[in-house]
């Protein structure tokens, strides 16, 4: 059973440049940490695919095993695990996230001001 879930995740994070596994959806986040991460991505105008783990128990647990990371949200850029809310926020504030997006040529709004 395990690798079917792993295959689904791998397919998902390779077919989409930016994927946010979160509680709720980008339009209706259901947890503060997920909402904060959505806000950072929106401020940078990064197009991303949201995935509501509340609607898929297999992925909700599978993604934690896949990245060896115990919490949601989880951000993936070009198939790479970036981190949860704390790390994404820190990277955004230091400009590291913007640099990474540039390096991976993912489009974003370069004039966005940090909070």
- Phi/psi at 84 (5° precision): -95, -160
Backbone φ and ψ of 96, nearest 5°: -65, -35
Does 93 sit near other proteins (CB under 8 A)? no
Q: Is 86 in the site for other proteins (CB under 8 A)?
A: yes
Tokens found for residue 40: 């950072």
Query: Judged by CB under 8 A, does residue 112 bind other proteins?
Result: no
In the sheet with 49-52, reading across from the earlier edge strand, the strands are 49-52, 18-22, 74-77, 80-83
Residues 31-70, mask of contacts with other proteins (x by CB under 8 A): -xx------------------------------x---xxx
- Least distance in Å: CB of 111 to other proteins? 26
In the block, residue with structure tokens 């509680």 = 23
71 or 114: whose CB is closer to other proteins?
Answer: 71
By CB atoms closer than 10 A (0-12, 13-18, 19+), residue 69 is: middle
Q: How many residues bind other proteins (CB under 8 A)?
A: 16
Rounded to a whole number of angstroms, the minimum distance from the CB of residue 103 to other proteins is 15
Judged by the rule CB under 8 A, the positions of this chain that interact with other proteins are 32-33, 64, 68-71, 81-87, 90-91
């Amino acid at each position: 059973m395990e690798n079917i879930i792993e295959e689904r995740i791998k397919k998902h994070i390779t077919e989409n440049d930016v994927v946010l596994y979160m509680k709720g959806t980008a339009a209706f986040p259901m947890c503060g940490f997920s909402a904060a991460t959505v806000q950072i991505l929106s401020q940078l105008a990064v197009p991303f695919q949201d995935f509501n783990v509340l609607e898929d128990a297999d992925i909700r647990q599978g993604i934690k095993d896949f990245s060896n990371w115990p919490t949601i949200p989880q951000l993936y850029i070009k198939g790479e695990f970036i981190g949860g809310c704390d790390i994404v926020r820190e990277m955004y504030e230091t400009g590291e996230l913007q640099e990474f997006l540039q390096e991976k040529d993912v489009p974003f709004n370069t004039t966005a001001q940090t909070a």
